[in-house]
Structure 1
C-alpha cells in the first residue's frame, strides 16, 4: 500500500535517514569500490577482463562490515580495507564457480578455462588477504583466515559429496563480515555473538543456530538498545535480502 501524503508528513527526517544505511555509508562504499578495483588491477589486460566479468556493483557484505564498524571506533582506512577484503573473498569464490563441473570434454579451450578460473580466483584470494592485513589487527586477520578455511573446507566437501548441485557461501561470508568488523572496533562478546547469529540468518544458511532472522535481529536489537547508531544497520537487515 502506498502511504498517503499525511502519513508521509508524519515521518521524521531522522527516521528517513535511519532507514537508509547505504546512503549513510555512501562515501565509504565508494572507497570500497575503488579499493576493489585497485586490488584487481594487474599488468595483464586479459586477467583484468576476466576479473571485471565477475565484479558486482552492490556490496552487501561490505555494508555489514561498515554498518557494524559504526558501532565502535576505527580508522576509515581500516574499515574500508576490511570491507573490500570480504567482498574480494566473495569475488574469488565466484571466479572459482566458473570452473566446469562434472565430466568435461578434454580440449585446449577447457584446459585454459579451468586454469584461468583457478589462477584468477587465487589472485583474488591473495589480494583479499593483503587487504585484511591492512587492518593491522591480529584478531581480524585470524577471523579472516578462519573464514577462508571454512570456505575451502565447505567447497572440498561439496565437490566430493554433491558436485552437480549449486553451492552458496552466504552464511560464512556474512558471518565473517560481522565478526571481523566487530573485532576491529572491539565490541563486547555478547554483541559480537548476536551479530554473528543475525548475519548467519541473513545469509539464509544458518551456522550456529536455527534462529529465524527476525528473532536474531530482535535479540541483537535488545543488546543494542542503548546505541541509536545501530538503528540503520538493524533496519537494513530487516529490509534487505542477500545478493
Structure 2
C-alpha cells in the first residue's frame, strides 16, 4: 500500500533527521569537497561564499543525491563530488537571487550582498557555478553533465520568467507553476536523477527519481510561498512578507485576487505594483488570503504534489532510505504548520 501524506509521521513532527542520519558520514565527505572547492587565492571569494554556505542551510538538495544513491544501493563514491556540485549550483542561484530581489536576510543572517556588495555577490556566484561545472567534468559522465547543466539553464530561465511576471497581477496559475517548476523543482529533480545515473540503473529508475524530486520541489516552493504571509523571519530565515513587498505574484495571491470583489482586486493590483506595501497593507493582504482560503488551498496543492512525489517512489523496495525520502516530503509540507 502506498503511504500518504496524512498517514506519515503520526504524532511526531516530520523532519530531515532520518535522512541526515542515513547519509551523515557521506555528508561529511561532501562538506569537505565544498570547503575545499570554495577556496581561492582571492580572500573575498571564500569569505563571501562561506558566509552563505556556513549559514545553516539544510543542505537538502545534496542530501537527496546521497539518499537516492543509498536507495539504489550504490557502493561507489562518485556522488560525493556531484552532491557538492548540486549545492554549489544552489548557492550560486541564492547569491544571484538576493541581488535581484534586494533581500535583507538569507538563512536567518544578513544577506551577503548587503555585507559585501552586489558586484561581489554576483561574481562569487559565478565562481561557484564554475566550480560546480569543474566537479561535473571531473566525474566524466556526459549524461550527468547534461542533466546538471540543463538544470542550471532551466533555473536561469525560471528566474527570468519570474522577473517578467513580477508585479503582473494577471499572471496565470499555469505560468506560476511553470516558474516554480523551473526555478526550484528542476534542481531537486536533477539532484535525485543523477544518483540513478552513477548507479547505472535503467532509465525507468532515473525517471522515477526525477519525478520524485520534481514533485517534492514544487511542493516545497508552494509551502514557501504560502508561509511568506503567515510565518516569521526567524522560522523562514528571511523577512516575512518579502514576496508581497517585491510584487511576486505567487499562488496565494493569484487565488485571492481571482476570488475577490472589484475593490479587493484593485487592492491587489496596487499592492503588486508597489503602491500598497506598508505593514497595515501586508496585514490586510493576509486577511484577504485567509478570507478566500488562499493559504489553505495553496497548502492543499502542496500536499497533492507531495503525494505525487511519494507515489514516484513506488517501484523501489522498502528500506531506511525510502522511509527517509518519504519523510523528507512530509517535512516539506509540515513546515507550514
CA distance in 1, matches of 2:193, 2:312: 16
Q: CA deviation at 1:43?
A: 1.4
Which consecutive residues of structure 2, in runs of 5 or more, have no partner in the other structure? 1-9, 103-112, 170-178, 221-301
Q: CA deviation at 1:230?
A: 4.3
> Is this contact kept in 1: 2:84–2:132, CA < 8 A?
yes
Residues 2 and 214 (structure 1), Cα distance of their counterparts in 2 relative to 1, 3 Å cut? closer
- Matched with 2:85 is 85
> Is this contact kept in 1: 2:209–2:312, CA < 8 A?
no
CA distance in 2, matches of 1:68, 1:83: 11
Q: CA deviation at 1:129?
A: 0.9
- Matched with 2:48 is 50
1:149 maps to 2:137: no
CA RMSD of superposed structures (Å): 3.2
184, 191, 195: which one pairs with 1:181? 195
What is the count of residue pairs matched by the alignment? Answer: 215
Residue aligned with 2:151, SS: helix
Higher alpha-carbon deviation: 154-163 or 143-152? 154-163
What is the CA deviation profile of residues 81-136 of structure 1, one whole-angstrom value per residue up to 9, with x for unaligned ones? 0100001100000111231548xxxxxx99x8232122111000000111122222
* TM-score (normalised: structure 2): 0.56
* TM-score (normalised: structure 1): 0.76
1:132 maps to 2:136: yes
Which consecutive residues of structure 1, in runs of 5 or more, have no partner in the other structure? 4-18, 103-108
> Is this contact kept in 2: 1:175–1:196, CA < 8 A?
yes
CA distance in 2, matches of 1:187, 1:61: 20
1:200 maps to 2:248: no
305, 311, 321: which one pairs with 1:218? 311
Q: CA deviation at 1:29?
A: 0.3
- Matched with 1:161 is 165
- Matched with 2:37 is 39
> Is this contact kept in 2: 1:74–1:184, CA < 8 A?
no
CA distance in 2, matches of 1:232, 1:88: 27
